[in-house]
A and B are shown apart, each in its own frame.
Chain A
Amino acid sequence: MSELWLNGLLVALGGATGASLRFLIDGWVRQLVADRFPLGTVVVNVVGSAALGLVLRVVDAGAPAWIMPLVGTGVCGALTTFSTFSYDTVLLLERRAWVGALSYALGSLLLGVFAFWVGAVLGA
């Protein structure tokens, strides 16, 4: 039972870190790029997916198990976001930017899965 609490604490700490990073990174990207395309969300989702691939491979190869709840579920889980991704897509659809919405969704999938794979390869 105490292990559950410990894992929960690790997730909370990692989650706070990941969400804060997302807040910062998204803010930076918005300053650099106009707000017409949700590039900030893409950046955090791609980076977080790559990091998760790395973490999973590293833990699988024998790294300490606590890295998973802290960095995997915590940091990566909070650094990446699906709710903002949904909101971004809705905004594009509201503007009738059909091609934009489709390329955003598919692009996020392709880049995200590719990033995950790259992370796993780097972790090997």
Chain B
Amino acid sequence: MPDALPWGTFGVNVVGSVALGVIMVLVLEVRPLSRLARPFWGVGVCGGFTTFSALQFEVYELYSLGRVGVALGYFVASVTVGVLALVLGMVVTRGVVGERP
């Protein structure tokens, strides 16, 4: 376990970021969904699905095991991929929606 990388947390954070990108475009830019969509899918599902606390725990664990480079790299990778994933969700949603009359 100490040598394993936290792929589970990384995975849910990336997937949740894509999903939030999709939802925010649908809520803010497209013909607005129900007003309940953002609190339910955005704040609730995406916000609850993803986690920052587990990320902090894992960074701290890696750091305390002496894997300082991996610790920092894990955080940087999470933020970078997360941001790209969210943008991907936004761009794809805009593209899909734009094709509809």
User: Does A38 interact with chain B (Cβ within 8 Å)?
Assistant: no
User: Does B47 interact with chain A (Cβ within 8 Å)?
Assistant: yes
Comparing A28-36, A59-67, A84-92, the segment that makes contact with chain B is A84-92
Comparing B29-37, B55-63, B93-101, the segment that makes contact with chain A is B55-63
A81 and B47: CB pair below 8 A? yes
User: Could you tell me the dominant secondary structure of chain B's interface residues?
Assistant: helix
Count of A-B contacts judged by CB separation below 8 Å: 121
Residues of A within 8 A of B59 (CB): 109, 113
Determine the interface band of chain A, counting residues with CB < 8 A from chain B: 35 or more
- Cα of A117 to Cα of B59 in the assembled complex, Å: 11
Tell me which of A18, A79, A82, A90 has the highest count of chain B C-beta atoms within 10 A of its own C-beta: A82
A87 and B51: CB pair below 8 A? no
Residues of A within 8 A of B90 (CB): 90
User: Does B79 interact with chain A (Cβ within 8 Å)?
Assistant: yes
Report the interface size for chain B: residues with CB under 8 A from the other chain: 34
User: Could you tell me the dominant secondary structure of chain A's interface residues?
Assistant: helix
A83 and B53: CB pair below 8 A? no
Q: B61 → chain A, closest Cβ, in Å? A: 10
Residue of A nearest to B72 (CB): A109
Given contacts A52-B53, A81-B50, contact A90 B87 (CB under 8 A): yes
A45 and B24: CB pair below 8 A? no
A80 and B87: CB pair below 8 A? no
- Cα of A81 to Cα of B56 in the assembled complex, Å: 11
Given contacts A48-B53, A116-B60, contact A82 B82 (CB under 8 A): yes
Residues of B within 8 A of A112 (CB): 52-53, 55-56
B56 and A19: CB pair below 8 A? no
- Cα of A85 to Cα of B53 in the assembled complex, Å: 12
